[in-house]
Structure 1
Amino acid sequence: MYRIALFIIFLWSSILSASARESTVSDSINLYLDQAQGVMYNNVSAALLFLEKAEALAENSGEDLRAKVAHNFAVAYYIKGDYDASLEFYLKTLQLYRVTNNKIGIAKCLIGQGLIQQGIDRHREAISFFEQAIKAYKKAGASEDANPAFLNIAISQIEEGKLNAAEENLHKAIALSKKAGRRDVEHLSLNKLGQVAFLRGNLDKAVSYYYQVLENGEEPNNWEKSFAYAGLAEAYLKQDKIIAARENALKAVDYANGVESLWDLERNTLILAEVYAAGGEMAKAYKELKLNKKYKDSLYNQQKLREINLLQLESRESENERLQAENDLVEQKLFINSSITIALAIAVVFLVLLFVLFRKNARQKAQFTRALKSRNKTILEKNELISRRNKELDVSNSAKDRLFSILSHDLRSPLASIQQLLELIKAGGVSQEEQKALLDEMLIQVNGTSAMLQNLLHWANSQLDGNKVKPEEVVLPEKVKKIQTAYFLAAKNKDIDIVHEEPVDAPVVWADRGHLSVIIHNILSNAIKFTRKGRKIKIFYREAGERIFLHIFDGGEGISEEKIEEIKGFASRMLSQVGTDMELGTGIGLLLVKQFLELNNGQLEINTFPGKGSEFIVSFPKAAVKDN
């Protein structure tokens, strides 16, 4: 009895200890979540650090805790402007909440998915998600918690120009947020009412709404302040109150930097540039325009990737639904076949007693087997046909995606440079001599861009023909020189000197002209992207055996051996790295280089020199050798 009592005491203490540990872990996770929520709208990076700690602890916890952590990650990445990561966490959260049938959680995920749709300007789809969320909150008996849904419907309606409907929904959002104690939603709704008033030309009313946010009894967060100060700057600029506009625009940019929101930074730097220009401070205006272009390019790249990723996600969901329907049909057929088999077994037992009917039943069974084999053969043939068609669709979609990505990747930068030069000349902030120099630079850029466009159109036509290669004789230095002019301004803006050593006897290669252009564009673009300001890019040639080698040596810090192995080994789009001047890419450049080199019997070598730069070497067959 004594031993049994000791065992019971030990078992009970173990249970209590395990329960205490579980409670401690849960308390720690909630503490990190509270800390993350406290700084999320003021410092996203700090919030993400707290969430990573919570995620590590919640790994072995229940679905509800893991869902709370995932939902906070989704919100943080949305504020940061990283919609890909935000969508991933919203879908993960939705899956966890469905397991526990958490209706409020499911409604929050519907709002999150609507925000992602809204972020890529798919406002009808976004409104549909928000309306579903409102219904979900109502079914859960928490109608007042739907206040963010009404706010976000209004935001989409503003983008669609439906100002009356937007104003009505904003007032609903404010009324519900007061019941739910959501001051943040109230602040955001007042900001949007200010925007509606501004769009209607009622500047005094707009200013009044923005000050209601800034002078609220509960201090707004940095995200809300950023929008309010930006709105005040716009309104004062319209009223020609340049000093007040300048003061508020500077505050708006400072708060946007604190939040690390790309959308706010892009909007606020453009407003500040307009204020500087109105005040005659053209140098400062040009500086802010350059910053605005960086943020705009970053948002453009992210939006294109988000659109592609979202379409791929919808395609996968549609395919899953189709496969599930087919699976249900197969299970139904299996059930029917199983029933038939049981009936046949009973018939066989009965036919043992009735030998006369046994032979007839045997013949029927043989006929059934043949019919079943015939059906199975038909199913296999149909599956093979579906598989072939899916592969053809994948090839077609891949070609289309590459086409749009290439056009955005190679045309955006030169056109943006030309636009900036035109804006400077139009603003009248440059002298006649400076204007002449700018026009000369613009002519060089236009000529280079025109040549680039011709090459891209040539490549696009080849893509529509299904990656057909049309090799011909190409004078390699002439091709490089033409492409180099397209990057004249990009190199000049970074004070980069491109040293092109043209040989006396210009080497002629055997390659597809359009593919060759894409290869050189991407390698030279990457060289400029990763070269430090004030350094050089060296281009030279070498002949060895029956091949011509093109060397492009950048002035960066050198690429790691691990990255070289990654470049050589990857077979799909890889994550693009940020350049030395915060340049962003689409992540497909080197993939296209590898694909087109393979199609043209070309080769790629990469050498690294830490602290000095990286050397990319591409080689092609000599024109006389052609393609063996």
Structure 2
Amino acid sequence: MKFRKSLILVFLMLYVSNGWSLAVFQIPVIQQIDTLLKEADQLKYANLAVGLKKVYQAEKLAQKSKNEQKLGEVYTMLGIYKYLYGTYDVSLEMYLKAIYIHKKFKNDAFLARSLNGVGLIQSGFNQNHESIETFRESLEIDLKYNNYHGIARSYFNISISQIGLKQYEQATTSLRKSLLYSQKLKEEESNHMVENRLGDMMLIRNKPDSAFYYFENLLKDNTPPPNNWEKAYAYAGLAETYLSLKDYDNAEINAVKSYDYAFKLNTKWDLARIAKILSEVNFKKGKLIEAYDFLLENNALEDSLYNERKMSDVNYLQLKSMEVENLKLMNKNAITLQKAKRDRIIIYAFLLLTILLIGVLFLVRRNARLKDVFNNELNQKNENIENQKLLISKQNKALLNLNQSKNQLFSIISHDLRSPINSIVQVLELQKDKAFTQEMQDEIFEQLHKQTLATSNMLNNLLHWANTQLDGQVVNPENIDIASIVESVISSSLLEINKKGVTIVNAIPEQKLLITADIGQVRIIIQNVLANAIKFTPTKGTVDINYTEDEEFIKVHIIDSGKGITQEKIDQILNINKRMNSEQGTSFEEGTGLGLLLVKQFLANNNGLLNIKSGHTNGTEFIISFLKK
């Protein structure tokens, strides 16, 4: 039993250890490939030969482990190195293989980098418009993933193609964008490349001070310091800048430094550029032999580069030709397949077209309905806006009227209450000083009593009028017996009637005369019209009150026996909606001019009417019309 358990335990240990060892074997291979590619990426501008060896090592590991995804990443790095060596046809072949694999595995990071490489090759063959499109495709992927390194690289490469198209303003903008993203990552290598190109742009645009700034800033940077290629480029840029300023000594010093770095790297393009600069500098300094030697070196390097470009062009064209042949073969095979599928494709196309047409018709109809709905909503909103404008206009008008009424109220109060109150105060002060005899007191107090009653009546009218003007008057209509209201008002006015000796003749009808109005406002209307009739009726005179009706109104006729008023005064009372100057009554009674204003306003509130008749010598008749029940 124990032996069996031990055997099982040993078997499990062997199984687990074997599986673990297989996993351990697979993981280090991927890590080794990643490490080799990372080291190669860092060496591409420092030591091409060592970097390329590491790429080949990574390629063998990827092929041995049959890891197609990693093999695609190796192809991308091979494309970069072949480009740096100037074998553009091989570089393009590597990039195209890599793009196929990256799309298959959705490896967007390396896909963007491979597209960048293709764009560089296109740019190298002066296909600048096409290269910009390829770079923008790469940029779109990097922007999607916020890959600042890739974004900086794409903007930098776009600037190179823009320089080829002599779009210097656009190129400067692209370079500054590249520098911005490089600085976010603090990648000095990318910064140095961009600063070199920005220096070129400033020199091309005749801004030598700015060119000096970029080249010298690069050479002073020690975090980390620029590599040998970047130094060679920067010193060459300084040499060209000094040459443009005719400072031949400094131009020569910097050109020699650039030449030393380029010679160590054996980069033909840089050596050709510097040889040309040194040839021109020596020529300007009168060193014709040295100038001639450097000119010969420049021509030799240019010829070598020309031959390499021609070979690359041929190889590039051969690669394109092979692609065309492959396409022909693929097309030939596709024809056989398409022949069998043609009918089915036609049917599918017809069905798809039918569905599309139905979809288009549906969208057109739907858009038409939405347009109608939108137009209706828009019209409704416009109508609402217009209504709101009208409402605001009315409110503004009402507010203005209210403000005017307030000012009018204060004016009336200050004018009409000051005099009677001052008179009362003066009389009381004189009485306090015992300035009146008993006989004078009786006469003065009688006048004071009249003055107080008049002031009280005026104050009541002011309060009623102020309420209507400031707060608005709420009308509460109800059924009222108008004759009983008139009788009630007569009873409350008996003191004034008796003092003046006026006779009131109220012809009360046998049946109730019912009207529909606000009882409080009706009382004030009758009270003011009756007070006005008493005021203008002479002592011992008569005021007649009688009632008539028609189909719509019940009319109250109040007729005084005064001297009457002119037609002009009647028109003024009926047509002017503001306070008028009050005239003295037959016993020198004073008024405020508000009574008739209240009468007209309250009649308007209750849909009533006011009419006035006068013979100018035989009294005045006020006809007040109220709606029937």
Compute the TM-score of the two structures, normalised by the length of structure 1.
0.50
CA contact (8 A) 1:273 1:288 kept: yes
Q: How many angstroms apart in 1 are the aligned matches of 2:335 and 2:56?
A: 43
Question: What pairs with 1:498-513 in structure 2 (closer than 5 Å)?
Answer: none
CA contact (8 A) 2:148 2:185 kept: no
Q: How many angstroms apart in 2 are the aligned matches of 1:6 and 1:151?
A: 61
The answer for unaligned runs of 5 or more in structure 1 is 340-628
User: 1:333 is matched by which residue type in structure 2?
Assistant: K
User: 2:278 is matched by which residue type in structure 1?
Assistant: L
The CA deviation at 1:327 is: 4.3
* Worse overlay, 109-118 or 196-205: 196-205
Q: How many angstroms apart in 2 are the aligned matches of 1:215 and 1:164?
A: 27
Question: What pairs with 1:120-131 in structure 2 (closer than 5 Å)?
Answer: 120-131=125-136
Hey, what does 2:54 align to over in structure 1?
50
Question: What pairs with 1:33-432 in structure 2 (closer than 5 Å)?
Answer: 33-61=37-65, 62-142=67-147, 145-216=150-221, 217-321=223-327, 324=330, 327-335=333-341
1:139/1:333 Cα in 2 relative to 1: closer, same or farther (>3 Å)?
Answer: farther
Q: How many angstroms apart in 2 are the aligned matches of 1:244 and 1:139?
A: 46
1:190/1:141 Cα in 2 relative to 1: closer, same or farther (>3 Å)?
Answer: closer
The CA deviation at 1:321 is: 4.7
Q: How many angstroms apart in 2 are the aligned matches of 1:90 and 1:327?
A: 26
1:4/1:88 Cα in 2 relative to 1: closer, same or farther (>3 Å)?
Answer: same
CA contact (8 A) 1:177 1:183 kept: yes
Report the secondary structure of 2:289's partner residue. helix
Q: How many angstroms apart in 2 are the aligned matches of 1:337 and 1:9?
A: 62
Q: How many angstroms apart in 2 are the aligned matches of 1:52 and 1:313?
A: 22
Aligned residues: 339
The CA deviation at 1:231 is: 0.5
1:338/1:64 Cα in 2 relative to 1: closer, same or farther (>3 Å)?
Answer: closer
Q: How many angstroms apart in 2 are the aligned matches of 1:42 and 1:196?
A: 25
CA contact (8 A) 2:89 2:319 kept: no
Q: How many angstroms apart in 1 are the aligned matches of 2:32 and 2:16?
A: 24
RMSD across aligned positions (CA): 2.6
CA contact (8 A) 1:44 1:260 kept: no
Return the match for 2:24 from 20, 24, 36: 20
Report the secondary structure of 1:59's partner residue. helix
Larger radius of gyration: 2
CA contact (8 A) 1:120 1:306 kept: no
Q: How many angstroms apart in 2 are the aligned matches of 1:154 and 1:139?
A: 21
1:51/1:66 Cα in 2 relative to 1: closer, same or farther (>3 Å)?
Answer: same
CA contact (8 A) 1:193 1:209 kept: yes
The CA deviation at 1:318 is: 4.6
The CA deviation at 1:250 is: 1.2
- After superposition, give the CA deviation of every residue in 1:85-125 in whole Å (9 maximum; x if it has no partner): 32232223223322311112111111000111111222122
User: 1:288 is matched by which residue type in structure 2?
Assistant: F
- After superposition, give the CA deviation of every residue in 1:430-470 in whole Å (9 maximum; x if it has no partner): xxxxxxxxxxxxxxxxxxxxxxxxxxxxxxxxxxxxxxxxx
Q: Which has the higher contact order (CA 8 A, sep 6+)?
A: 1
- After superposition, give the CA deviation of every residue in 1:116-175 in whole Å (9 maximum; x if it has no partner): 111122212211211111122234453662211111111121122111111111111111
Q: How many angstroms apart in 1 are the aligned matches of 2:33 and 2:57?
A: 8
CA contact (8 A) 2:148 2:184 kept: no
The CA deviation at 1:268 is: 1.8
Q: How many angstroms apart in 2 are the aligned matches of 1:84 and 1:213?
A: 33
1:250/1:219 Cα in 2 relative to 1: closer, same or farther (>3 Å)?
Answer: same
User: 1:75 is matched by which residue type in structure 2?
Assistant: I
Q: How many angstroms apart in 1 are the aligned matches of 2:277 and 2:143?
A: 40
Q: How many angstroms apart in 2 are the aligned matches of 1:166 and 1:338?
A: 51
1:46/1:257 Cα in 2 relative to 1: closer, same or farther (>3 Å)?
Answer: farther
Q: How many angstroms apart in 2 are the aligned matches of 1:85 and 1:271?
A: 32
Q: How many angstroms apart in 1 are the aligned matches of 2:26 and 2:296?
A: 52
Report the secondary structure of 2:64's partner residue. coil
- After superposition, give the CA deviation of every residue in 1:473-523 in whole Å (9 maximum; x if it has no partner): xxxxxxxxxxxxxxxxxxxxxxxxxxxxxxxxxxxxxxxxxxxxxxxxxxx
Report the secondary structure of 2:246's partner residue. coil
Q: How many angstroms apart in 2 are the aligned matches of 1:287 and 1:240?
A: 21
1:187/1:338 Cα in 2 relative to 1: closer, same or farther (>3 Å)?
Answer: closer
Hey, what does 1:434 align to over in structure 2?
none
The CA deviation at 1:240 is: 2.0
Q: How many angstroms apart in 1 are the aligned matches of 2:145 and 2:151?
A: 11
Q: How many angstroms apart in 1 are the aligned matches of 2:249 and 2:72?
A: 48
CA contact (8 A) 1:145 1:180 kept: no
